[in-house]
Structure 1
């Protein structure tokens, strides 16, 4: 039997080896429902979304990751176009609606000074 080739992370994904360096040297903001890590500001844009078993069973973890991905996607146009972002779902995320997650993510991004203020509210008003 031939073994399957080892797949490398695609563009925009963070390889497993970079996680520890981002955790150690990156910046962190903690919210009620999620934790945001930002590191390697000179690297191309990359995103990782994590939900541990503390969040719940597989269905709840996948829903939490979908919510975080969608919240990040909606803020993508206002973010710095480089760096590595790690979004970690916390146990309190279950039962939370998408607008609440997006609002909390925006607060964390603003706290780390990662959102461009000139674009943040001008585009929403239109």
Structure 2
């Protein structure tokens, strides 16, 4: 993802957390904050140490990023959101990651219906 699509600063992460607007399934938690007038969505990805070592955490992050790239056109533009991987997300293959993450995004009402 390009830099303009990322939530990177700690203060930006905290601002999204403080909205307390979250949705979860067994693999992912989605926190979101509306940002009216924004050109495109911004996303932050967090994978904790409960997932495993750095290799496992980066493996999960790559799959999350790839899924977001594949559904990028469907994601609503006026929102900042965080994707937090739960420990159960470790070891999932790409199709399963996509299925579970899209499910969480739909529950959070972040996807435009085609």
TMscore range, shorter length? 0.7 to 0.9
* Residue 45 in structure 1 maps to residue 41 in structure 2: yes
Calculate the aligned-residue CA RMSD, in Å.
1.5
72, 82, 88: which is aligned to 1:86? 82
Q: Deviations over 1:5-24 (max 9, x none)?
A: xxxxx422222212112112
Mapping 1:49-88, distance limit 5 Å = 49-88=45-84
Aligned to 1:54, the other structure's residue is in SS state coil
* Bigger mean CA offset, 29-38 vs 58-67: 29-38
Counterpart check, 1:29 vs 2:29: no
Between structure 1 and structure 2, the one with the greater Rg is: 1
Count of aligned pairs between the two proteins = 109
Name 1:99's counterpart in structure 2. 95
Q: 2:6 aligns with which of 9, 13, 23?
A: 13
TM-score normalized with structure 1 length = 0.78
Q: Pick the structure with more helix per residue.
A: 1
Structure 1 unpaired stretches of 5+: 1-9, 120-126
